[in-house]
A and B are shown apart, each in its own frame.
Chain A
Amino acid sequence: MNDPSRFYRWLLLVGSLVTIAYLAGAAVHENYLAQWKTVQREYRDILRQKTADDRGRELLSKFRIEMKQVSIPALGAVDRCVTCHNGIDDPRVTDAALPHRTHPGHLLDKHPVDRFGCTVCHHGQGAALTFQEAKAEDVYWDYPLLPPEMTEAACATCHDPEKLPSDQVPMLTLGLKLYKEKSCGSCHKLGGRGGTLGPALDNEGAKTRHQLIMTNVKPPYTTWNWQTAHFRDPGSIVRDSQMRNPTVTRGEALALTVLMLSEWRRDVPESYLAPDKIDQKHRDLHPIPLTGEQVYRQYCTACHGNGTYSRWDKKFGRFVPAVRGDSLVAGAPRDYLRTNIEQGRPGTQMPAWGPHAGGLHTEEITAVDEYLRAGARAAPPMPSLSLRGDSSRGLSLFLTNCAGCHGMHGRGGIAPEIGNPVFQQAATNEFIVRTIRNGRIRTAMPAFQRPEASALGDQDIADVLAYLRTLGENKNQSARTPGSTPPPPVGGKP
């Protein structure tokens, strides 16, 4: 090469020309190829065809191809949707194709665009100027555009979903009904009320897709696709899910999804809230007590079924005891149920339901207690138990007869845990003895005092009782030093 500056001059020429080309490319891209400009040109043509009167001519003459937006500082919304949805509040274009068409229904009469914008109801990325980015399913945006059938979830932002007419929000209404029917509250807390086996559902609608594992969901990876798939079969979406299949149809799964999406306590200015929403907030703080039956239906049936039989629970791998009717109530001391409901049963899946735990009010617990005992026949009086028990003999009897179901040290197996302090405190000696003697009807607990050789005599029962009463103390010790006492070998049948 003769003169290196020749190379540099070529480089400069090429560099400059490429720069000009790309600058020009960017300018063309911005000014002529923008999607919204094409849309607005189409809309202008539609306006031309529709123009019949002076008013129409005036609107046409005022129409300019320019970016449009609705800015609502109170809602933190800057929605440019109207850049493409030009005819959203123009009644003349009801028959036009999307995106030019008028907003369907009469919702805009009460929710004018310039006061509410678009995204407060529809979600999606209001700042965007292409449909793909406004829809925001596959871009980085927390709340993509809700599918039309789910948009009603957003009504709950400013309205009390229970007070909305059900024909306007059919999915939401169905979802609310299903939530109670399926007894979701047995495991999930909502507004401070419910069980603790599953996660609380407050603000579930505020979740973004990054908070949910999407590995087993079919794309697009939206929260509602996750929710719907999860309601259809929880185990296929979340590995090792404890949640039982709610057995819902696809439509019902969608309704529950809408309900979940509506659980979003967005901070909107008070001036936007419907009066019933304010009532709802008040009601959430001071709930009207439910009847015993309502409490039982909403918060107990998921595990206990109708309560009169003990249920084998596949997920838990154990029997859930019968809590209603003669089976338990007849023999239990007066406060037994109440204490168990209020304080739960540590070591089992049964959570505490007192005001500071499951959120039930004292009067509701009283009501459900009464509901459970209703119609139960009082147990016949039992001859008093005066025998002294020997706890070491009781241990071997327990191992032979009880540990198979109730577990070593009564820690629970397929039958409930009986070493826990709540049981130890609530169950009287009489109750325990009666249960061992007579068993529990409609449950897997057999009667141990029967006319057979292997049956337990009064003294045996007294020994077992003595042993059981040591469990409360033992448990504390063994809890402190796990594995310090090797469990004795198990022998015999349950």
Chain B
Amino acid sequence: MEETATQEFLHNLRTLPHSVKEACFRLGKAPESEREESQATFHNLFLHIHSVRVHLRTLSPTLTFGLGLMATASFVLTLITGVLLMVYYKPSTDLAYQSIKDIHFAVFTGRFIRNIHRWAAQFMVVVVLLHMARVFFTASYKKPREFNWLVGLGLLVITLALSFTGYLLPWDQLAYWAITIGSNIANSPRELTDAIGITKYFDPGGFQKRLLLGANYVGQDALIRFYVLHVFVLPLALVTLLGVHFWRIRKDGGLAKPEDPMGGLAEWGGERRPVFEPLATKTYGLMALVKGQRPPVNRGPENTVMSWPRLFWAELSVFMLTVATTLILAFYSDAPLKELANAAIPENPAKAPWYFLGIQELVSYSAFTGGLLIPVIVVVGLALIPFLDRRAGGEGTWFGTKSERAVFWQSFLFALAVTAGMLAFTVNYGWLRNWSPNIHQLWIIVINPGSLLVVIFAGWSILILRRKNSVRLAAVSLFTCFLVGFILLTYFATVHRGPNWHFYWWPSQWPIH
């Protein structure tokens, strides 16, 4: 019987829930076969960046500790909470502080949301740094992943820039003075140009500062610039680079891993599994082109599993772990908000956020060397690593090459001793200016505890290079030295520097004011 249009319409109406569900969830049910599992991965925008099958190593919690995912998760958290904060925040010097107070006191869950934003941001910085260390110590930057290492470096810089720009927005004392210092670090090339007397003709420092602040002081122009950077430019750049970063992971063949042994046997659940032998009656195609040196078919044990659902469990759990951690921190600890910004009363000490305190310690020796030269050397040095250390080996394994662990510990102790010694010396005996007040600034720019540390670390690394005859080991020693130096300086400036940047054993000894 021919169906009338009315009947068809009514039928469609009846089956509406079903057809909507079908349209949204194309499979309509949980995947039950491998084919459906691969489709579940492949046909979903958010999942399709994963390969359909992943190597078993990928699922090992101790290979990556989920650090990259944690960074992404905390970024997502800051993004969501950031949008919520934007609902109430007013980027004006007259209103900004009051609007943060309103968020703190009067907005439903405003204080909690702001705390989450702050903690997620801090967590992100920590995790991004750890992620970089993980990638370095598992030698995962090597060919073909050099480009992604560079992208990651860009992400690190943007993460720090996001933190820095976010610091000004509450317009409290902490914000005002930290940004005053920060913008004057941008101005610090003047220290060099003044010392050699060319500022009148060539003034990159002043240019940078004006670019950042739109004025010679931290005011409304600076606030709106930082706001635009913080809520639009930098997040957009970060999301874009993040996309590239993920895409490259996939294109570079997933996580770095050692070659599977030829003809070896994979282990799974205590039992050994035989080499994968393709059936003669079937054809096998790759679901995606990857850059691996050879497809695993017919070469070794089948060491991959379907991504769905195991990889997604793993990712989801790391995401929730991050959320839960951030929430706990946010519940018990309020994000700080000091007094309203006051250009007449400097904070003492005016400390930057903790992750910049290492740099602030260096800046206390020389603004140009510590604030600009050394950070630039570090970033350029990091960028060069994959291009200077090109010999394959050790990928995807913690301290993979021979005697790497030993070099790590030696460098660790060496850097610890040298940095601590340098700090102790500086605190006790001062530096060039204390000994000879009329010394030319150029000497201080060139010779200061910070630049000496860089030279000593470089020397140590060259020593390793020649003694061990390995570029990788030299890289490990240099990276370790800088990492330890960074951590120690950060700790030192956080705990042991008080008002007027004097040395104190504990903050409780600071004079009260």
Tell me the A residues contacting B by CB distance below 8 Å.
2-5, 7-12, 14-16, 18-19, 22-23, 25-27, 30, 67, 69, 78, 80, 125, 127-129, 133, 140-142, 208-215, 217, 221
Contacts and interface: CB of A to CB of B under 8 A. Distances in A.
Given A140-B338, A215-B513, A19 B313 contact: no
A15 B320 contact: yes
A20 B369 CA distance: 48
Given A3-B269, A140-B339, A215-B513, A22 B328 contact: yes
Contact of B513 (A16, A80, A133, A210): A210
Interface in B312-351: 313-314, 316-321, 323-324, 327-328, 331, 336-340, 342, 345, 348
Given A140-B338, A208-B339, A16 B102 contact: no
A5 B328 contact: no
11 contacts: A2-B269, A3-B310, A8-B61, A8-B317, A26-B327, A26-B331, A129-B106, A140-B338, A142-B339, A208-B342, A210-B513
Contacts of A8: 59, 61, 310, 313-314, 316-317
B174 to A, nearest CB: 9
Contacts of B339: 140-142, 208, 210
A67 B328 contact: no
B320 A140 contact: no
Nearest to A78: B98
Given A12-B313, A30-B112, A7 B327 contact: no
A23 to B, nearest CB: 7
B511 A213 contact: yes
B304 interface: no
B60 A22 contact: no
Nearest to A141: B339
B512 A214 contact: yes
Nearest to B338: A140
A19 B324 contact: yes
A370 to B, nearest CB: 42
A90 B104 CA distance: 29
Contact of A127 (B106, B314, B348): B106
Contact of B105 (A9, A27, A133): A133
B333 to A, nearest CB: 13
B324 A15 contact: yes
A22 B269 contact: no
B342 to A, nearest CB: 8
B19 interface: no
B304 to A, nearest CB: 14
Given A4-B59, A214-B513, A12 B105 contact: no
A211 B345 contact: yes
Nearest to A9: B313
Among A10, A18, A80, A211, residue most surrounded by chain B Cβ atoms (within 10 Å): A18
A325 B235 CA distance: 80
Given A208-B339, A214-B513, A221-B512, A4 B314 contact: yes
Contacts of A211: 345, 513
B340 A142 contact: yes
B172 interface: yes
A256 B338 CA distance: 29
A179 to B, nearest CB: 25
Nearest to B323: A19
Given A4-B60, A5-B313, A30 B108 contact: yes
Contacts of A23: 327
A18 B513 contact: no
Interface of B: 59-61, 98, 101-102, 104-106, 108-109, 112, 172-173, 269-270, 309-310, 313-314, 316-321, 323-324, 327-328, 331, 336-340, 342, 345, 348, 511-513
Contacts of B513: 209-215
A76 to B, nearest CB: 8
Given A8-B310, A22-B324, 6 more contacts: A4-B61, A8-B314, A19-B323, A208-B345, A210-B339, A217-B512
Nearest to B315: A8
Contact of B327 (A18, A208, A209, A212): A18
A19 B327 contact: yes
A213 B511 CA distance: 8
A14 B318 CA distance: 11
Contact of B345 (A5, A26, A210): A210
Contacts of A22: 324, 327-328, 331
B513 to A, nearest CB: 5
B320 A7 contact: no
Nearest to B309: A5
Contacts of A7: 61
Among A80, A142, A212, A213, residue most surrounded by chain B Cβ atoms (within 10 Å): A142
Contacts of B106: 67, 69, 80, 127, 129
A419 B109 CA distance: 72
Among B104, B269, B513, residue most surrounded by chain A Cβ atoms (within 10 Å): B513
A93 to B, nearest CB: 25
B106 to A, nearest CB: 6
B269 A129 contact: no
A19 B116 CA distance: 12
A15 B317 contact: yes
Give the top 9 A-B pairs by smallest Cβ distance, nearest first. A15-B320, A11-B317, A12-B317, A18-B324, A5-B310, A22-B327, A214-B512, A127-B101, A8-B317
Nearest to A217: B512
Contacts of A127: 98, 101-102, 104-106
B64 to A, nearest CB: 12
Contacts of B105: 80, 127-129, 133
A345 to B, nearest CB: 33
B507 to A, nearest CB: 15
Given A7-B61, A22-B327, A12 B316 contact: yes
Contacts of B104: 127
Contacts of A69: 106
A3 B269 CA distance: 7
A19 B104 CA distance: 21
B109 A12 contact: no
A25 B309 CA distance: 31
Contacts of B324: 14-16, 18-19, 22
